[in-house]
């Protein structure tokens, strides 16, 4: 036991400077010339975070009322697929030619949010009237979640309407228990938002992409929605994609039995962040850290409706191997290929049909 405690303390000390040091990244609006950028991603935001002063906008504290906003994020002309080019200083606006930058931030009331999202959906061609909901993970502040989602939308070629659900993470390694409770705190807010998307916005369908601890929030939300009697959200929910899920493997098996729908799970046995989570969670295996070598586990999950995509052989550009779904070009483009697939599945899909973890995806062109 003492050896395990020592390992955890050493891990904390080695990571704490990167995870807890300095102020949070903020959203400083900057002017970009047309030649500086390759396009702009407009993201709608729903959040259970507490409001705070600009340019942070939303903190890591909890709010009983959901707040709304729209962000316009400029994509640098020199952007490389799988990269999230941000300035070294978290308080800098950045160089629009080299970095993702903020073109505008607009705080919205709930009626304004509904009106603008509905209009954005209606402006798309019929085939693209889709909403992608992104639920970020542990140790993530508002700005970092927004920039990451803009990169995912850009690199996947998604042509529908992006909606970021951002929950109150304090973006500190030592706040892991607080973040976990914040994920539970946000379940009702997320479920209400998903029902609004399905019912009121004119979307043909919606998909969910969740990462890390955000997968726990997502699956728990789907579980309670299923218990309420409509886990398919009127047949509008299509793909459910869980990237590097920080969920106890035993817990996930019970959740999957309750939600009764296929999901896609991106896993990697070399995920150092999930190894850290395992050690502070009673040495229990996290869902996102299994691999194809765990043949019995994978077979059981597949029988229950999970499509397992093993990314263990892929190289990541983050030192913890925790963001492969977004930083590995072939994977983020696979996600885009599935999101761009035509047709509805009546709310029973979500298995990423045709997605092979070893296949080479075709590139998806994105709107400039």
**43: helix, strand or coil:** strand
The per-residue pLDDT for 360 is 33
DSSP secondary structure string for all residues of 150-203: HHHHHHHT--SEEEEEE------GGGHHHHHHHHHHTHHHHHHHHHHHHHHS--
Residue 189 has pLDDT above 80, yes or no: yes
- 105-139 pLDDT tens trace: 999 999 999 999 999 999 999 999 999 999 999 99
Please, is 13 exposed, middle or buried when counting C-beta atoms within 10 Å of its C-beta (0-12, 13-18, 19+)? exposed
Asked if 326 and 237 count as a contact pair (C-beta separation under 8 A), the reply is no
Q: Kindly report, residue by residue over 217-276, the tens digit of the pLDDT.
A: 999 999 999 999 999 999 999 999 999 999 999 999 999 999 999 999 999 999 999 998
- Contact predicate 93/28, CB 8 Å: yes
Pairing of strands 263-267, 101-108: unpaired
Bridge partners (DSSP) listed for residue 267? 310
Closest CA to 89 of 136, 137, 55: 55
pLDDT of residue 282: 86
Q: How distant is the alpha carbon of residue 234 from its chain centre?
A: 23
Task: Work out the average pLDDT over 194-208.
Answer: 98
For the beta carbon of residue 304, count every other beta carbon within 10 angstroms: 16
* CATH T-level assignment (fold) for domain 2-339: Rossmann fold (3.40.50)
Alpha carbon distance 183, 167 (integer Å): 7
First to last CA, the chain: 55
- The pLDDT value recorded for residue 289 is 97
Lowest mean pLDDT: which of 29-38, 144-153, 353-362? 353-362
Q: What is the mean pLDDT of the chain?
A: 89
User: What percent of the chain lies above the pLDDT cut of 90?
Assistant: 81
**Tokens 């009237």 correspond to what residue?**
129
> Of the candidates 252, 233, 232, 230, which has an alpha carbon nearest to the alpha carbon of residue 242?
252
**Res. 358: pLDDT tops 90:** no
Q: Which pLDDT does position 211 carry in this prediction?
A: 98
pLDDT of 15 > 90? The answer is no
Average pLDDT over residues 7-13: 45
**Per-residue pLDDT band at 368 (split at 50, 70, 90):** very low
- Under a CB-based contact definition with an 8 Å cutoff, are residues 82 and 332 in contact? yes
What backbone torsions phi and psi does residue 302 show, to the nearest 5 degrees?
-65, -35
pLDDT for res 97: 96
**Residue 299 predicted with pLDDT over 60:** yes
Q: What is the DSSP letter of 232?
A: T
- C-alpha atoms less than 13 angstroms from C-alpha of 165 in its C-beta half-sphere: 28
Percent of the chain with pLDDT over 70: 87
Least confident of 6-15, 213-222, 315-324: 6-15
Q: What is the mean pLDDT of residues 327-340?
A: 94
Does position 362 have pLDDT exceeding 80, yes or no?
Answer: no
Rounded to 5°, the CA angle 26-275-15 comes to 45
Q: Where are the domains of the chain?
A: 2-339
Q: Is the pLDDT of residue 16 over 70?
A: no
pLDDT of residue 281: 85
CA dist 6 and 1 (Å) reads 9
Band of the pLDDT at 342, cuts 50, 70, 90?
A: low
Q: Where are any strands of DSSP class E within the chain? A: 37-51, 58-76, 101-108, 130-135, 161-166, 205-211, 237-243, 263-267, 306-310
* pLDDT tens by residue, 33-58: 989 999 999 999 999 999 999 999 99
Among 130, 136, 154, 133, residue whose Cα is nearest residue 208 = 133
- pLDDT score, position 18: 42
Average pLDDT on 93-98 reads: 96
pLDDT tier, 340 (very low <50, low <70, confident <90, very high otherwise): confident
- The answer to whether 241 and 208 have CB atoms below 8 angstroms apart is yes
């Amino acid at each position: 036991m003492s050896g395990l405690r020592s390992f955890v303390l050493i891990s904390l000390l080695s990571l704490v400077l990167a995870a807890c040091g300095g102020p949070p990244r903020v959203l400083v609006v900057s002017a970009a010339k047309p030649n500086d950028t390759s396009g702009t991603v407009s993201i709608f935001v729903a959040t259970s975070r507490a409001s705070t002063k600009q340019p942070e906008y939303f903190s890591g504290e909890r709010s009983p009322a959901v707040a709304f906003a729209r962000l316009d994020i400029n994509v640098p002309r020199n952007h490389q697929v799988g990269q999230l080019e941000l300035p070294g200083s978290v308080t800098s606006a950045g160089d629009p030619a080299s970095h993702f930058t903020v073109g505008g931030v607009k705080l919205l009331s709930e009626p304004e949010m509904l009106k603008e999202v509905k209009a954005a959906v209606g402006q798309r061609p019929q085939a693209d009237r889709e909403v992608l909901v992104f639920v970020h993970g542990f140790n993530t502040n508002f700005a970092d979640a927004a920039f990451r989602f803009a990169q995912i939308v850009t690199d996947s070629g998604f042509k529908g309407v992006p909606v970021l659900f951002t929950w109150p993470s304090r973006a500190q390694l030592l706040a892991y228990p607080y973040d976990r409770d914040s994920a539970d705190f946000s379940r009702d807010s997320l479920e209400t938002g998903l029902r609004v998307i399905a019912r009121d916005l004119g979307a043909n369908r919606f998909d969910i992409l969740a990462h890390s601890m955000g997968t726990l929030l997502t699956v728990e939300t789907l579980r309670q929605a299923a218990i309420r009697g409509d886990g398919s959200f009127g047949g509008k929910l299509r793909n459910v994609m869980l990237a590097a899920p920080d969920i106890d493997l035993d817990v996930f098996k019970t959740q999957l039995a309750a939600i009764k729908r296929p999901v896609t799970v991106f896993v990697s046995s070399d995920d150092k962040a999930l190894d850290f989570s395992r050690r502070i969670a009673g040495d229990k295996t996290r869902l996102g850290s299994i691999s194809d070598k765990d043949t019995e586990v994978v077979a059981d999950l597949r029988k229950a409706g999970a499509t397992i995509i093993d990314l263990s052989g892929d190289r990541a550009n983050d030192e913890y191997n925790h963001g492969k779904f977004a930083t590995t070009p072939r994977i983020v483009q696979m996600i885009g290929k599935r999101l761009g697939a035509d047709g509805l599945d009546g709310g029973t899909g979500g298995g990423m049909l045709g997605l092979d973890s070893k296949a080479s995806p075709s590139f998806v062109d994105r709107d400039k």
